[in-house]
Amino acid sequence: MKSVYQGKTKDVFDLENGTYLLKFKDEVTGVDGVFDPGANTVGLTMEGAGEAGLKLTKFFFEKINEAGIATHYVDADISNRTMTVLPAEVFGEGVEVICRYRAVGSFIRRYGKYAKDGDRLDAYVEVTLKDDDRNDPLITDEALEMLGIMTKKEYEILADMTRKIAAIVKDELSQKGLELYDIKFEFGRVGEDKHIALIDEISGGNMRAYKDGEYVEPLKLEKIMLEG
């Protein structure tokens, strides 16, 4: 296989058979040693985070596939911390889509004049560009179309998929007594018809979940979700 990309939390390899391999690492995003799913830098290393992230990603991607929502997921090998996926064409140089149920993190940093920490939000969706140099700036549907990153129709499809996928994750978490505050997704165009599909991962490293008002860190989240 051929190395294609080395990312913050995963490495990507071309299997040269029409599929790609994602290798999950133990690094998670954050700032100054504090985990933050919205950060664009690696903040710390958590031993076991790669395997935990892959286990949860496998769990959620299979649930999403069962719901008839398109993803790039093919299968996973937990022991090797790898996931086989279909190739995807990212939007521009990559976008991240956040669904928010509570006002926390960067939402409060931006809009704290109008909201209090922890205020409820109605599955609010926002899109940011993957651009470390500019701290992953927010972008509107009009700007996305104007810059040739995606059409407004693609944005509508992407936003609708985001709410549906987030609802699946939120429901699964609630069954374990957890509350989803926010979650980050990535999407791409997949297949000859270039349909929009969920890509990357769904793990404790790209969401904030709370239990009885207390934040649940990624490794504990995986344990709670997948036990018994």
Average pLDDT of adjacent 10-residue blocks, the chain of 228 residues: 87 95 84 65 74 94 98 96 97 97 96 97 97 94 98 98 98 98 98 97 93 92 88
What's the pTM?
0.90
Phi, psi of 149 (to 5 degrees): -85, -45
- Give the model's pLDDT for residue 33: 64
- Alpha-helical (H) ranges within 92-151 are 106-111, 141-146
Which residue shows structure tokens 């799913």?
A: 37
Distance from C-alpha of 137 to C-alpha of 116, rounded to nearest angstrom: 22
Q: Is 216 helix (H, G, I), strand (E, B) or coil?
A: coil
Phi, psi of 71 (to 5 degrees): -135, 175
Distance from C-alpha of 60 to C-alpha of 102, rounded to nearest angstrom: 21
- Give the model's pLDDT for residue 171: 98
Q: Is 155 helix (H, G, I), strand (E, B) or coil?
A: helix
* CB atoms near residue 91 (< 10 Å): 23
- Give the model's pLDDT for residue 35: 65
Edge-first strand order for the sheet with 20-24 is 2-6, 10-14, 20-24, 82-85, 73-77
- Give the model's pLDDT for residue 39: 64
Q: Which pair of structure tokens corresponds to residue 14?
A: 């071309």
Consecutive H or E run containing 166: helix 152-174
Give the closest residue to 187 by CA, choosing from 208, 156, 218, 145. 156
Distance from C-alpha of 83 to C-alpha of 13, rounded to nearest angstrom: 10
- Give the model's pLDDT for residue 41: 66
